[in-house]
Chain A
Amino acid sequence: MTDLTQLGVKAIRDGVAGGDFTAREVAESFNAAVAGASALNAFIVATPDHALSAADAVDARRAKGEDLGKMGGVPIGMKDLFCTDGVQTTAASHILEGFVPRYESTVSRKLWEAGAGMLGKLNLDQFAMGSSNETSYFGNVSSPWRKEGANAAMSPGGSSGGSSAAVAARIAPAATGTDTGGSIRQPAAFTGIAGIKPTYGRCSRWGVVAFASSLDQAGPMARSVEDCAIMLEAMAGFDPKDATSLERDVPAWEAGLDANLKGKRIGIPREYRMEGTDQAILDSWEQGKAWLRDAGAEIVDVSLPHTKYALPAYYIIAPAEASSNLARYDGVRYGLRDLPDGSGLQDMYAATREEGFGDEVKRRILIGTYVLSAGFYDAYYTQAQKIRALVARDFEEAFASCDAILAPTTPTASFPLGENSDDPLAMYLNDVFAVPASLAGLPAMSVPAMLNPDGLPLGLQIVGKPFDEQGVLNAGLAIQQRAGFDAAPEKWW
């Protein structure tokens, strides 16, 4: 029998529907793979029973001849930022350790309704703040990838680093991610998998632990563009419980996949040619253009003049929203409480938050508090929101002359854990190519392109017009077919 853990979403769904294997066999295979991969530290908790009972329900439906759902029989990893009823949800923080939601996030509920099961809750950067998965209270996640001939543990990217590591290591066929400023795309690029952040508002934020609400978007991470299309269909859709949810039908993205790009124009933003970008990344970008041209697209130059200001604007806006969102962790309603002897309410707040938040989270709350404080608000926050409007306008103007944009996902390949952790600013630069699309709320995806000379994966990014996930997926598929990326990390865990 084939090793079921080598299969992706589509192959599992179709194999279960066709009776090639049962959903229970799939769940058992992945449960065993998860149990055997603790060295990666990808999961904060495993939930093998959830995966098995979802699988049994799918097998029972099949026996009765019923519809199995878009994700029927597919066990997935759930980023531990999504509230799951009866299963601890921590955002990889100490302050939420032991928090067991009494409700299900909309995105996870939709996935279970589509026939998926849960292998466990995936590790991440604390409150999704980080680009290397080194800020989790539950320890670093190791990428399954290593440099050729080296043993140093590498970063799986962040913040969805547990998700990327699990999918790349084939201990989950797919996983949920969230992307505030690159947290789906950068880890996907670092680990040789695909991931898409849809248009802001496609996936409900209800029940997702909030970081920066005007930027946070959920999306799928999987090994192929087709798998991402299938899973995004199951995750997306209008939700009255999220005030910014889009009231639009979910397109049939899987059925609409078409790698023929004849008549499409792909823009190459000249400002993305930045100093400090690896030569191998620039080479992969050139190769990407050639692949898309081969698929029938016309390559055109475009300009996004405010690109260099997107990242600093993001590091005002996201911390500002975070400082407000994370005010809810007060030691009163849920999570940790630190009540020093004889102290009052204010001391309890301050002690609880000192104890419960990690350094990067504190840093961002302080920055956010500062830029929103009286006397500084206009100089920092209002200015950043004006620049955000200019970044969005740049894209709007570029899309007058192209259908989608091709760029690198990251300026470098993955780096060893610990290499950038002492320098917050150097870490932030990882998301320099990812953040502009986040500020503009645009759909954007990373697809694996090739290995660099060290044997580490590199990703290419496609950014689309608002609501045009189909165009993004189609360009991604054209790259995937030509890249033929089938490299997998050698098992050491």
Chain B
Amino acid sequence: MAATRAASARGMSVTREEVAKISNLARIRMTDGELDRMVPELNKILDWVEQLGEVDVTGVEPMTAVIPNTLRLRADEVDAIPETAGGRRDDVLANAPAAEHGFFGVPKVIE
């Protein structure tokens, strides 16, 4: 099923059910009215990007780094960079909507 759909991704438009599914995957709640509005907007954008299918990309590698750059390793040293080091619990929690006992508070996740 997934393979068939991938092969025909171009020329396809998204249905209301698919947009509802995507919004669930993206964890964005949407009202019926918002879904109604979003479906034609997304389809218009997806129709427009379909022109990319015209381009012959035989033998072209997808870009992974825009400017050739080697990934560095930082020094193997504890707390080498103070701003991103440990020991800053209060700073990390300072903007949490619900910080309790030195932790992030969340609704109960285990029954």
Binding site for B on A (CB under 8 A): 98-103, 199-201, 214-215, 240-241, 243-244, 246-247, 306, 308-309, 312-313, 315-316, 323, 327, 330-337, 339, 343-351, 353-354, 357, 362-363, 365-367, 369-370, 373-376, 378-380, 382-390, 392, 424-425, 439-441, 466
Interface residue total, chain B, C-beta cutoff 8 A: 59
Q: Contact at B95–A99, with CB atoms within 8 Å?
A: yes
Measured CA separation A336–B108 after assembly (Å): 18
User: Which residues from A are CB-within-8-Å of B25?
Assistant: 369, 373
Report which of A243, A370, A386 forms a contact with B14, defined as CB distance below 8 A.
A370
User: Which residues from B are CB-within-8-Å of A374?
Assistant: 2
User: What is the CB-to-nearest-CB distance from A486 to chain B, in angstroms, rounded to a whole number?
Assistant: 36
In the complex, which residue of chain A has the Cβ closest to the Cβ of B88? A102
Q: A337-B98, A389-B61 are in contact. Are A366 and B42 (CB under 8 A)?
A: yes
Q: Contact at B74–A240, with CB atoms within 8 Å?
A: yes
In the complex, which residue of chain A has the Cβ closest to the Cβ of B10? A379
User: Which residues from A are CB-within-8-Å of B108?
Assistant: 344
Q: Contact at A339–B67, with CB atoms within 8 Å?
A: no
Measured CA separation A382–B88 after assembly (Å): 39
Q: For chains A and B in complex, what number of residue pairs have CB atoms within 8 angstroms?
A: 182
Measured CA separation A350–B88 after assembly (Å): 29
User: Which residues from A are CB-within-8-Å of B104?
Assistant: 332-333
Interface residues of B in 15-44 (CB under 8 A from A): 18-19, 22-30, 38, 41-42, 44
Q: Contact at B52–A366, with CB atoms within 8 Å?
A: no
Measured CA separation A103–B92 after assembly (Å): 10
Q: Contact at B67–A316, with CB atoms within 8 Å?
A: no
User: Which residues from B are CB-within-8-Å of A369?
Assistant: 22, 25-26
Q: Contact at A365–B28, with CB atoms within 8 Å?
A: yes
Tell me if B76 is interfacial: C-beta within 8 Å of chain A.
no
Q: Contact at B98–A309, with CB atoms within 8 Å?
A: no
User: Which residues from B are CB-within-8-Å of A424?
Assistant: 41, 44-45
Measured CA separation A383–B46 after assembly (Å): 14
User: Which residues from A are CB-within-8-Å of B66?
Assistant: 200, 214-215, 388, 392, 439-441
User: Which residues from B are CB-within-8-Å of A425?
Assistant: 44-45, 48
Measured CA separation A376–B10 after assembly (Å): 9
In the complex, which residue of chain B has the Cβ closest to the Cβ of A329? B27
User: Which residues from A are CB-within-8-Å of B45?
Assistant: 315, 363, 367, 424-425
Report which of B30, B52, B74 forms a contact with A387, defined as CB distance below 8 A.
B52
Measured CA separation A357–B42 after assembly (Å): 17
Tell me if B102 is interfacial: C-beta within 8 Å of chain A.
no
User: What is the CB-to-nearest-CB distance from A107 to chain B, in angstroms, rounded to a whole number?
Assistant: 14
Report which of A98, A243, A345, A375 forms a contact with B109, defined as CB distance below 8 A.
A345
User: Which residues from A are CB-within-8-Å of B38?
Assistant: 362-363, 366
Measured CA separation A327–B26 after assembly (Å): 8
In the complex, which residue of chain A has the Cβ closest to the Cβ of B44? A425
Q: Contact at B55–A376, with CB atoms within 8 Å?
A: no
Q: Contact at B42–A335, with CB atoms within 8 Å?
A: no
Q: Contact at B28–A350, with CB atoms within 8 Å?
A: yes
Report which of A346, A366, A466 forms a contact with B26, defined as CB distance below 8 A.
A366
User: 17 new A-B pairs (CB below 8 Å) besides A240-B81, A370-B42?
Assistant: A315-B45, A331-B97, A333-B92, A344-B109, A346-B27, A353-B26, A366-B19, A366-B26, A367-B45, A373-B22, A378-B6, A383-B52, A385-B62, A387-B55, A388-B66, A389-B62, A441-B66
Q: A315-B45, A345-B109 are in contact. Are A375 and B28 (CB under 8 A)?
A: no
Measured CA separation A182–B57 after assembly (Å): 26
Tell me if B78 is interfacial: C-beta within 8 Å of chain A.
no
Q: Contact at A332–B96, with CB atoms within 8 Å?
A: yes
Q: Contact at A344–B107, with CB atoms within 8 Å?
A: yes
The 7 closest A-B pairs by CB, nearest first: A385-B62, A441-B66, A337-B97, A379-B9, A334-B95, A375-B2, A350-B29
Measured CA separation A313–B10 after assembly (Å): 14
Report which of A339, A354, A386 forms a contact with B61, defined as CB distance below 8 A.
A386
Q: Contact at A363–B41, with CB atoms within 8 Å?
A: yes
User: What is the CB-to-nearest-CB distance from A232 to chain B, in angstroms, rounded to a whole number?
Assistant: 17
> Which of B24, B55, B63 neighbours the largest number of chain A CB atoms within 10 Å of its CB?
B63
Q: A350-B27, A354-B28 are in contact. Are A312 and B51 (CB under 8 A)?
A: yes
Tell me if B100 is interfacial: C-beta within 8 Å of chain A.
no
Contacts A/B (CB < 8 Å), 29 sampled: A102-B88, A103-B83, A200-B66, A200-B67, A201-B67, A240-B74, A241-B81, A244-B69, A246-B67, A309-B55, A330-B27, A333-B96, A334-B97, A336-B97, A344-B108, A366-B42, A370-B18, A373-B22, A375-B5, A375-B9, A376-B5, A378-B6, A380-B9, A383-B57, A386-B55, A386-B61, A424-B44, A424-B45, A441-B67
Q: Contact at A335–B97, with CB atoms within 8 Å?
A: yes
Q: Contact at B2–A323, with CB atoms within 8 Å?
A: no
Q: A369-B26, A383-B57 are in contact. Are A376 and B6 (CB under 8 A)?
A: yes
User: What is the CB-to-nearest-CB distance from B2 to chain A, in angstroms, rounded to a whole number?
Assistant: 4
